[in-house]
Amino acid sequence: MFIISDKNLLLNAQRNNYAVPAFNIHNLETTKVVIEAASELNSPVILAATPGTIRFSGIEYLINIMNTAAASTDIPIAFHLDHHEDINDIKKAIKLGCKSVMIDASALSYEENIAKVKEVVNFANRYDVSVEAELGKLVGQEDDITVSERDSQLTNPDLAVDFVKRTNIDSLAIAIGTAHGLYKKEPKLDYNRLKNINKLIKVPLVLHGASGLPDESVQKSIKLGITKVNIATELKIAFSDGVKEYFQNNPEANDPRKYLTPGKDKMKEVVRHKIMLCGSNDKKSLFN
């Protein structure tokens, strides 16, 4: 299947009461893990790349990896730029074929956030590309973006209405108490805030910071309106744990084909679990 924007993926999830998982990938190996797991479970999937991943692998390489991945399966796939702040980088990726982007201007003032998002939306519309933006600030670190507890801010439902109307975005990432990275203690999510936001706006809602979040919290969030769930840190931990375990048992190993395989296997377990958790398994048929 071709790479598509995540707009239709999320609208479908919204109509059918499930969420599409968005997995942060970094290279060929991690991309193949996600595609294999999603194909086995007949799940639509979003492959997300942060600015750090773009710098590491190169946008041209990643676009070609995504095109190859899409040609290898019949599941709906979206390639998504996650937490990008540089508009020029976003425009370059769009011109190369990226169909889904997130412009993260949440660190700016409200009006500056709106102005920067509108610029991206206006450009993306020329290429039929979907745009996600963020209102509110999640505590923790995502790639090169760090937000302290002091600077974190939950999403205001009334501002969310104004924000969506003025920017014309396709999906909105909201802050309801989740955090980037792993949790030191179980987070207390503001479900009433989520419920109110979902009642007030029609665009699909995105939950960032799902790594380490209890399964029950993810499922309840989906029931209350979340249609996209981002997973990053748990994938990296699983992959690295598999590689570390292999080297502990094989200290003289030097063949990447052998020591990367256990990392892929461990990561795949997490991907499969998150797909089932989001309820996106067997939803491929909804796109036929």
21-67 pLDDT, tens digit each: 999 999 999 999 999 999 999 999 999 999 999 999 999 999 999 99
> Is 256's pLDDT higher than 50?
yes
Annotated binding site for Zn(2+): 83, 104, 134, 180, 208
Task: pLDDT band for 146, please (50, 70, 90 cuts).
Answer: very low
Q: How many Å apart are CA 172 and CA 157, to the nearest integer?
A: 12
| 242 residue type, one letter | G
> Is 182's pLDDT higher than 90?
no
Annotated binding site for dihydroxyacetone phosphate: 181, 209-211, 230-233
Task: pLDDT band for 142, please (50, 70, 90 cuts).
Answer: very low
User: Per the structure block, which two tokens stand in for 211?
Assistant: 């790594």
pLDDT digits (tens, 9 = 90+) for 151-165: 358 899 999 999 999
Which of 222, 226, 212 minimizes the C-alpha distance to 273? 212
Average pLDDT value for residue range 141-153: 47
pLDDT at 121: 98
- Told to judge if 82 belongs to the known catalytic residues of this protein, a careful annotator would answer yes
pLDDT digits (tens, 9 = 90+) for 233-250: 999 999 999 999 999 999
Domain architecture of the chain: domains with CATH: 3-232+267-287 (3.20.20.70)
Catalytic-role residue among 6, 82, 143, 170: 82
Q: What are the two backbone dihedrals, phi and then psi, of residue 232, each rounded to the nearest 5 degrees?
A: -135, -65
Average pLDDT value for residue range 82-98: 96
